[in-house]
Chain A
């Protein structure tokens, strides 16, 4: 438990510095053998990058040590992010964060499943799954449906949304 926490969290100190992240929950389980920290019950994560709410969160680190490479959030997942001056509100049944470095290339993604929905000032987008590549900033929506809040006439207006991949 504690040995898990120590290298996991030591790895975090090597990440890009920011404000503290605060995780609260009804119960926390810290298991050294499986190298996991499990938070259950009214889980709240207040991080400089986002505010997250869910009922169940598991963070895992690799056996060799290093940073957290896998986070699973389940049940009533709500994430609010502020990026590029824009607030985004995301809901889904499940969100999975993965981090990996292969051949010097960092791949960091969050995959939303279970009726995911992203809402910002311009539009509401649904799809299943929705994959957010945090390294590149690209969003990939499968089975996408987008509703623009300002109506059809504003579709030509520039937004922060990336062009859909061809």
Chain B
């Protein structure tokens, strides 16, 4: 499994914002004690993190990342169980849903990766992608899936219109 380095052009501000978002989210959940529970190891459970579109759609959620459990590792890494990523368009419609039993999220480089299974479906559920082993690069929404299987419910191309001919 090859890990893709984040784009060099990703601004430090964005990296910092993403990392801070994770940190603030984890701390807020721990403090509220509502949905989150903190173990002795500092793990976080049932967390959700959102990212918004830039202006002028700054009120619209662009992506929502959640997990049943997040275990921090050195270097800004988080091991997330029951990873789920939802992407939305500017109208609030669901674009896609990505899920994985477990993955590692690199908060510094904005990468999520796992040698394990990944499941993806588009907004209306007509398209499904499954794979074993993936890397997702947050900066430019670039996804690599190994051993992938894509199912398009209504076919890849429309039936040929011509009724004559060899084909």
Chain B CB within 8 A of A5 CB: yes
Chain A CB within 8 A of B92 CB: no
Chain A residues positioned under 8 Å from B147 (CB to CB): 26-27
Counting chain B residues whose Cβ lies within 8 A of the other chain, the interface size class is: 35 or more
Docked-complex contact A28 and B95, CB < 8 angstroms: no
In-complex Cβ contact of A22 among B145, B150, B161, B165 (8 A): B150
In-complex Cβ contact of B160 among A27, A45, A83 (8 A): A83
Alpha-carbon distance A29/B12, docked complex (angstroms): 26
Docked-complex contact B159 and A18, CB < 8 angstroms: yes
Chain A CB within 8 A of B149 CB: yes
Chain A CB within 8 A of B123 CB: yes
Count, A-B residue pairs, CB within 8 A: 186
Chain A CB within 8 A of B163 CB: yes
Docked-complex contact A88 and B142, CB < 8 angstroms: no
Nearest A residue to B162, CB-CB: A137
In-complex Cβ contact of A9 among B143, B144, B152, B159 (8 A): B152
21 contacts between A and B (CB under 8 A): A2-B120, A2-B143, A6-B122, A6-B127, A13-B126, A15-B155, A16-B159, A18-B155, A18-B159, A26-B146, A27-B144, A27-B147, A28-B145, A28-B150, A33-B142, A39-B148, A118-B166, A118-B167, A133-B162, A137-B162, A161-B165
